[in-house]
Amino acid sequence: MANNPNMVAIQTVTVGAGGAASIDFTNIPQTYTDLYLLISTREESTATAELFVKFNNTTSNLSTRWLRGNGASASSGTTTNIQLLTSSNIGGANIFSNVSFYIPNYTSSNYKSASSDVVVENNVTSSPDVFQNLAAHLWSSTAAINQITLYLASGDIAQYSTATLYGITSAAKGAKATGGIISEDADYYYHAFTASGTFTPSQNLTADYLVVAGGGGGGQTNFGGYGVGAGGGGGGVKTATSQNLVGSNNYTVTVGAGGNGGTGSSGGAAGSSSSISGSGISTLTATGGSALGTSYAGGTSGADSSNAGGGGGYTSGGSTETYAGGGGGGSGGVGGSWNGSNIAGNGGNGTLWLNGSYYGGGGGGGYGRRTTSAASGAAGTGTHGGGNGTNANNTTGGAGSINTGGGGGGAGTLDAGSPVSGAGGSGIVIIRYAK
């Protein structure tokens, strides 16, 4: 929990000696999107082992649909309250229940739905403590939730029971911008865009960013009914450091898709470009990786035309004919060529960014043979997110890893098969700035 920058502990309540009639969270801040309540409770009695919840100190317009089981049987039902389970002396002394209670959109003007998951910390055998419980809850009210109360039908909540209320935000607490998936390390916030979106800083920032295009799909060549796929080129990678971004400006982020893999005599598709643009900055665009279908050569990386795919080829000989595809070029290096006989090329290297990860690696080439009497060989390996080639088994080439810009792997044929080469991996855009 503590490492999730989008989840903030609002308050923890621990029940003291003598127990408590209820656990109350009042004056709940309205600045979060969702609420998450973690509860560990028991009651010091042999009552019904039921824990109830009310919002804003009212028990009206509440309902629950529950499903529970004890390992031997299951049951379901409905109630006109928000009902959870807790441990009691029925199941044994010093045994606590554990409850996860999630409330999305608690400030909205819509009815409030919630869900809960209840387990008991010990495998007790006495009913009702033996039950484990899943439930959906509804408060049919348009009011924002500003108070949550936990209570029993009778008696007190036992000493050492605890409950912690968390607020969940759409942006990391302390982050200086919105947009993308936000994470952090000791020194930086990172906004990772796995799909197109908008980055909006709340203040002027100095940022570094990475732009990765989609990888090319693996190629596919048909030669007299027999063929092989070469590796797709890795997506282009562009980087920038110490860029000045203006507070409240909206910066447009475009994330390119990977290209489809080739099939039969049809070549694969190139990956799509990724970019970041906006007022006051130079647009930074990375080009998608290519995929070839007219030769055994691997596709070229979108990063640099000199980072070409490795060459492929075939050996003639009728039923002993073999085919080896070249590896796709990577954003950081050329693809590997076939070795002149039966080994397909590996994908070219990707590019290492400031977060310690590589992007834009090439796909591995496929290896095919006309019949099982032809020489055995080996497919190429994808590099830094690139998909692996397949080895004369008519299966689909490996896809490039999503959000890496990796090229697709080539497919290897056996006996005039028609496999599909792997698709390229989608791109990504990452923006980071100091805390």
Tell me the β-bridge partners of 133: 68, 118
User: Has residue 272 been placed in a domain?
Assistant: yes
List the domain range (segments joined by +) for residue 340: 175-435
Average pLDDT, the chain: 87
Specify whether 243 is located in the same domain as 143: no
Confidence check: pLDDT of 380 > 50: yes
| Same domain as 230, residue 259 | yes
Please report whether residue 1 resides in a domain: no
Least confident of 223-232, 268-277, 283-292, 346-355: 223-232
- 215, 72: one domain: no
Question: Which of 138, 168, 198 finishes a domain?
Answer: 168
Position 185 pLDDT exceeds 90: no
Domain shared by 223 and 75, yes or no:
no
The more confidently predicted of residues 317 and 369 is 369
Max Cα-Cα span within the chain:
90
Among the three residues 143, 168, 193, which one is the final residue of a domain in this structure? 168
The C-alpha atoms of residue 325 and residue 312 are separated, in whole angstroms, by 4
| pLDDT tens digits along 44-69 | 765 667 889 999 999 999 999 988 77
In a domain, 120, yes or no: yes
Tell me: the pLDDT tens digits for 231-269?
999 999 999 999 999 999 999 999 999 999 988 777 789
Handedness of CA 18, 23, 24, 29 (dihedral sign): positive
Whether the predicted pLDDT of 280 surpasses 50: yes
Give the per-residue pLDDT at 396.
92
Residues 133 and 205 in one domain: no
Q: Could you tell me the CATH number of the domain that includes residue 28?
A: 2.60.120
pLDDT at position 172 is 63
Tokens of 300: 């070229």
* More confident position, 31 or 224: 31
One domain, residues 45 and 128? yes
Tokens of 72: 């031997």
295 assigned to some structural domain: yes
Assign 84 a pLDDT band (cuts: 50, 70, 90).
confident
Question: Residue 209's pLDDT is what?
Answer: 96
158 with 179, same domain?
no
pLDDT of residue 3: 47
Domain-located, residue 65: yes
**Mean of pLDDT values over 315-338:** 88
| 59 and 182 fall within a common domain | no
Distance CA 391, CA 119 (A): 48
What pLDDT, on a 0 to 100 scale, did the predictor assign at position 83? 86
Question: Mean pLDDT across the stretch 351-368?
Answer: 95
Q: Are residues 90 and 106 in the same domain?
A: yes
In a domain, 2, yes or no: no
Does 158 lie in the same domain as 225?
no
Is residue 96 a part of any domain in this protein? yes
Whether 296 has a pLDDT exceeding 80, the answer reads no
- pLDDT (average), residues 331-339: 91
Query: For residue 430, what are its two tokens?
Result: 């990452």
Say if residue 122 is in the same domain as residue 186: no
At residue 1, the pLDDT reads 38
**Would you say residue 126 has pLDDT above 80?**
no
Between CA 44 and CA 53 the distance in angstroms is 19
Structural domains counted in the chain: 2
**Are both 195 and 160 inside the same structural domain?**
no
pLDDT at 46: 59
Arithmetic mean of pLDDT, 160-186: 85
Query: Computed from CA positions of residues 14, 20, 22, 27, in that sequence, does the dihedral angle turn out positive or negative?
Result: negative
Identify the domain boundary among 151, 168, 185: 168
Domain assignment of residue 23, yes or no: yes
More confident residue, 103 or 90: 103
